[in-house]
């Protein structure tokens, strides 16, 4: 074959099958490469790792969030695993149960990192005392609020449920399309519905699972559902709006309060300088004093091509300088405890609420049934949607959901 | 070298080579189909008789257990019912609206060519773009439809286009019908042109009115087109109802718009149940196959009748 034709062909093969390009390429496809808070941190890690490991490179592949989980699962299931996978709370359990992840204990020991110095939700990445994933960051939920909007409405930051509801009502201005609070009010994506309601449910002291048993009809859970239903029925939250849209409303100064993770500060900072200047945060003013968290875990699949190098990359992330970068550049709590730079908290006092919440936050994965998280999330979201959109009462929702979850658990015991 | 007899590439006689030639032309298409169509289909059948496993490779052989579990599950009757309602809604309205617009566009009037092009437009818009456009139009807070409903005084309350059941299923079916009715229009327009004008002239002489002409000439004349269209829309909407539903409601609210195809996706990609998802896929395939066989039988019969 003509060499003029051969060269582009070979190049094309390397483009299509990047794994052939170099044995020392760590493939790390992630939606985080495209996120304003995470991308700079990941690029810094990439830069440092490549400097410290000549001949090795980290392949940054940006995969849009909308397709990321499906793609990652398809890659792993088809035996075409990347070297690093990103997993949230329920998924990390499912992957561990399916024996898909490489053990990281020896790498952690070599790096001198003790497990008890990692965030409490690290327990999700452990089985039989062995560690299969490391926490990249944890997003415990606290209440962000726009101080200016609250002041203009003559409202103080709420300290309990009653004050919170009163503040939400006072901030609602239909003519100005202004809302006191925003949370999920669009059906469909079960995960989003679940993630958005969980801070409130946990805040009321409730939950849908406790010690592996359904607890949807617990009085605290029903009280939380009643609170969420009131917000929807009284049109206090934007209806039919997806998360991205009402987050934008907050950025534009149209929403007074929103319970989410500290990552959101980066979104506000890049979106609107004025709103960022007025951004404050407090722990959720709900009875239990606890909140819910999402942890982004990183792991090395057993089928990865560069397991050793990938594990070393993860350990590099746990070093002091990268942990500090996660806080200062990413505005999120990193996987290790006690590494928050004091100067950062001084400059960003809102971060205190998140630092505090991290220590006691409960994972959003159903407690004791984490490996079935996605199925449970679907069942819960369907019942919550029926409550919000089909007029079912909170009490009835608790009762029917309890039965549905009990039936589900029974199928898993067979 | 020039005098030496050329050796044939294949040691076959001329007649055998001629007989093989059409198959060689078909080979690339067959290979492409085998890779992207037959192999995945076969793989789905194989996966459906193995237990659910996340990693590469097969799980444990379970025979028809996955099918038993799907057919006896609590969700199956619900998602099947949604699929049937969705399909029936599409078939009836694509047929009806397609026929009505075809009758209208078959008449001579100024700007007919432009009108025909405009009616085809929804068909040309990609599904994803259509879903996003309709998603904004249906939006409860800022959607143009709710604005129009209130501005024209049709209702003082906003409508929960995608936020209540069965409203969401009706809205989504509406979007699908809007996308598909041009196909009905085109097919009926073609069908109308095959009905000889003399039939209508004779009917007029016999004193038949427009309704009688429609009933006794147009409808029987469009019988073949109607059957073809019904079968095509049934096959397409039953087994391929995914994009619009997934983008607008993802099966919600409360599972109201979750059909059998969406469930298959959820089982595979959300719950990591590859075996279960494959079994659902095979069930969809079998149901669609019934209609496909009917379609092919009808097409074959029609071809024979036309000589």
Nearest Cα residue to B247 out of B194, B190, B182, B168: B168
pLDDT digits (tens, 9 = 90+) for A220-256: 999 999 999 999 999 999 988 888 899 999 999 999 9
The domain locations on chain B are 65-305
Any idea which fold B65-305 has? Answer: MetI-like fold (1.10.3720)
Q: Per-residue pLDDT for B1 more than 50?
A: no
The domain locations on chain A are 20-138+294-363, 142-290+369-413
Nearest Cα residue to B69 out of B293, B303, B297, B280: B280
Q: Does A70 touch chain B (CB under 8 A)?
A: yes
The pLDDT, as a whole number, for residue B273 is 92
> Using alpha carbons only, what angle is made at residue B139 by residues B138 and B140, rounded to the nearest 5 degrees?
110
Q: Is B250–A98 a contact, with Cβ atoms under 8 angstroms apart?
A: no
Q: Per-residue pLDDT for B9 more than 70?
A: no
The pLDDT, as a whole number, for residue A241 is 86
The pLDDT, as a whole number, for residue A18 is 42
Q: Per-residue pLDDT for A366 more than 80?
A: yes
pLDDT digits (tens, 9 = 90+) for A290-318: 999 999 999 999 999 999 999 999 999 99
Of chain B, the end-to-end C-alpha distance in Å amounts to 53
- The b/e string for A119-139 (b: 16+ C-beta within 10 A; e otherwise) is bbbbebbbbeeebbbbbbbbb
* Dihedral sign computed on CA atoms, order B205, B210, B213, B218: positive
Q: A58 near A26, Cβ under 8 Å?
A: yes
Query: Chain B interface, mutation test: which of A81, A96, A186, A190, most B Cβ atoms within 10 Å?
Result: A186
Q: Per-residue pLDDT for B28 more than 60?
A: yes
Compute the distance between CA of residue A401 and CA of residue A207 in angstroms, rounded to an integer.
12
- Confidence grade of residue A412 (pLDDT, cut at 50, 70, 90): confident
**Judging by beta carbons within 10 Å of its beta carbon (0-12, 13-18, 19+), is residue A408 exposed, middle or buried?**
middle
Q: Is B254–A79 a contact, with Cβ atoms under 8 angstroms apart?
A: no
CATH classification for the domain delimited by A20-138+294-363, as one of 3.90.870.30, 3.40.190.10, 3.90.1200.10, 3.30.360.30: 3.40.190.10
Chain B positions touching A99 (Cβ under 8 A) are: 55
DSSP-derived letter for residue B218 is I
Residue of A nearest to B168 (CA): A187
What rounded mean pLDDT belongs to chain B?
Answer: 90
Residue of B nearest to A178 (CA): B141
Q: Does B54 touch chain A (CB under 8 A)?
A: yes
Q: B172 near B237, Cβ under 8 Å?
A: no
Q: Per-residue pLDDT for A17 more than 80?
A: no
Helices B223-239 and B75-106 pack at an angle, to 10 degrees, of: 140
Does the domain at residues A142-290+369-413 carry the CATH identifier 3.40.190.10? yes
- Confidence grade of residue B8 (pLDDT, cut at 50, 70, 90): low
Residue of B nearest to A191 (CA): B270
* Dihedral sign computed on CA atoms, order A380, A386, A388, A389: positive
pLDDT digits (tens, 9 = 90+) for A369-388: 988 998 999 999 999 999 99
- Confidence grade of residue A15 (pLDDT, cut at 50, 70, 90): very low
ipTM of the shown complex: 0.76
* Low-confidence winner among B133-137, B167-171, B292-296 (lowest mean pLDDT): B292-296
Q: Which two tokens stand for residue B71?
A: 């057919």
Mean per-residue pLDDT, B215-238: 92
A79 vs B56, B141, B270: nearest CB: B56
The pLDDT, as a whole number, for residue A279 is 95
Quickly tell me which residue has 């500060």 as its tokens: A265
B252 vs A241, A385, A407: nearest CB: A385
What rounded mean pLDDT belongs to chain A?
Answer: 91
Q: Is A99–B266 a contact, with Cβ atoms under 8 angstroms apart?
A: no
Share of chain A above pLDDT 70, in %: 94
Residue of A nearest to B55 (CA): A77
Q: Is A188–B252 a contact, with Cβ atoms under 8 angstroms apart?
A: yes
CA-to-CA separations, A108 to A130, A311, B262, in angstroms, rounded: 11, 9, 41
Compute the distance between CA of residue B65 and CA of residue B72 in angstroms, rounded to an integer.
10
Compute the distance between CA of residue A341 and CA of residue A324 in angstroms, rounded to an integer.
7
Residue of A nearest to B141 (CA): A239
Q: Does A94 touch chain B (CB under 8 A)?
A: yes
Write a three-state SS string for A24-38: CEEEEEEHHHHCCCH
Mean per-residue pLDDT, A174-201: 91
The pLDDT, as a whole number, for residue B56 is 66
B residues 155-194 lying closer than 8 A (beta carbon) to A? 160, 162-165, 168
Q: Same CATH fold, A142-290+369-413 and A20-138+294-363?
A: yes
The pLDDT, as a whole number, for residue A4 is 52
Chain A positions touching B138 (Cβ under 8 A) are: 240
Q: B302 near B224, Cβ under 8 Å?
A: yes
């Amino acid at each position: 074959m003509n060499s003029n034709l051969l060269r582009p062909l070979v190049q094309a093969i390397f483009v299509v099958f990047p794994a052939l390009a170099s044995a020392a390429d760590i493939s790390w496809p992630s939606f985080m490469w495209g996120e304003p808070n995470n991308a700079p941190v990941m690029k810094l890690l990439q830069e440092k790792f490549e400097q410290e490991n000549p001949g090795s490179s980290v392949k940054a592949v940006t995969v849009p969030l909308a397709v990321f989980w499906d793609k990652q699962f398809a890659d792993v299931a088809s035996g075409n695993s990347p070297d690093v996978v990103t997993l949230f709370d329920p998924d990390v359990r499912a992957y561990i149960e399916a024996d898909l992840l490489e053990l990281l204990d020896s790498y952690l020991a070599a790096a001198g990192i003790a497990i008890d110095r990692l965030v409490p939700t690290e327990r999700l990445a452990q089985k039989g005392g062995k560690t299969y994933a490391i926490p990249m960051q944890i997003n415990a939920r606290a209440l962000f609020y726009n101080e200016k909007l609250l002041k203009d409405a003559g409202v103080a930051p709420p300290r309990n449920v009653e004050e919170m509801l009163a503040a939400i009502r006072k901030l609602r201005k239909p003519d100005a399309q202004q809302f006191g609070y925003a949370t999920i009010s669009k059906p469909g994506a079960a995960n989003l519905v679940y993630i958005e309601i969980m801070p409130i449910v946990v805040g009321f002291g409730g939950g849908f699972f406790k010690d592996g048993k359904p607890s949807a009809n617990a009085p605290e859970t029903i009280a939380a559902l009643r609170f969420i239903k009131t917000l929807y029925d009284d049109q206090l939250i934007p209806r039919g709006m997806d998360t991205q849209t009402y987050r934008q409303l907050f950025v534009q100064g149209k929403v007074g309060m929103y319970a989410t993770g500290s990552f959101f500060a980066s979104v506000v900072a890049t979106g609107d300088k004025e709103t960022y200047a007025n951004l404050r945060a407090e722990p959720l003013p709900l009875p239990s004093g606890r909140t819910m968290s999402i942890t982004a875990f990183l792991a090395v699949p057993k089928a990865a091509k560069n397991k050793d190098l990938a594990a070393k990359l993860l350990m590099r992330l746990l070093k002091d300088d990268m942990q500090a970068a996660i806080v200062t550049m990413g505005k999120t709590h990193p996987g290790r405890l006690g590494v928050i730079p004091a100067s950062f908290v001084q400059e960003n006092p809102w971060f205190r609420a998140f630092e505090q919440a991290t220590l006691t936050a409960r994972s959003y994965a159903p407690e004791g049934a984490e490996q079935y998280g996605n199925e449970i999330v679907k069942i819960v979201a369907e019942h919550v949607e029926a409550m919000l959109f089909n007029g079912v009462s909170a009490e009835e929702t608790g009762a029917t959901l309890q039965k549905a979850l009990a039936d589900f658990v029974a199928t898993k015991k067979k | 070298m020039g005098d030496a007899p050329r050796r044939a590439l294949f040691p076959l006689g001329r007649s055998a080579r001629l007989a093989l030639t059409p198959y060689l032309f078909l080979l690339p298409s067959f290979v492409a189909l085998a890779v992207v169509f037959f192999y995945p289909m076969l793989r789905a059948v194989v996966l459906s008789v193995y237990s659910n496993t996340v990693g590469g490779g097969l799980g444990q052989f379970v025979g028809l257990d996955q099918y038993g579990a799907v057919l006896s599950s609590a969700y199956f009757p619900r998602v099947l019912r949604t699929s049937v309602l969705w399909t029936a809604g599409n078939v009836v309205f694509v047929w009806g609206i397609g026929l009505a617009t075809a009758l209208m566009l078959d008449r001579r009037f100024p700007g007919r060519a432009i009108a025909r092009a405009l009616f085809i437009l929804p068909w040309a818009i990609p599904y994803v773009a259509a879903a996003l456009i309709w998603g904004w139009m249906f939006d409860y807070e800022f959607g143009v439809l709710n604005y129009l409903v209130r501005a024209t005084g049709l209702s003082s309350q906003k409508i929960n286009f995608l936020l209540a059941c069965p409203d969401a299923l009706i809205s989504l079916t509406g979007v699908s019908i809007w996308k598909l009715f041009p196909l009905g229009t085109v097919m009926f327009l073609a069908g109308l042109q095959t009905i000889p004008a003399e039939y209508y002239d004779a009917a007029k002489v016999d004193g038949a009115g427009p309704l009688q002409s429609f009933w006794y000439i147009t409808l029987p004349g469009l019988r073949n087109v109607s059957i073809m269209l019904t079968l095509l829309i049934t096959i397409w909407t039953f087994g391929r109802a995914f994009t619009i539903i997934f983008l607008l409601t993802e099966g919600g609210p409360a599972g109201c718009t979750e059909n059998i195809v969406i469930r298959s996706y959820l089982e595979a990609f959300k719950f990591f149940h590859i075996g279960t998802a494959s079994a659902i896929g095979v069930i969809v395939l079998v149901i669609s196959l019934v209609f496909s066989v009917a379609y092919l039988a009808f097409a074959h019969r029609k071809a024979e009748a036309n000589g």
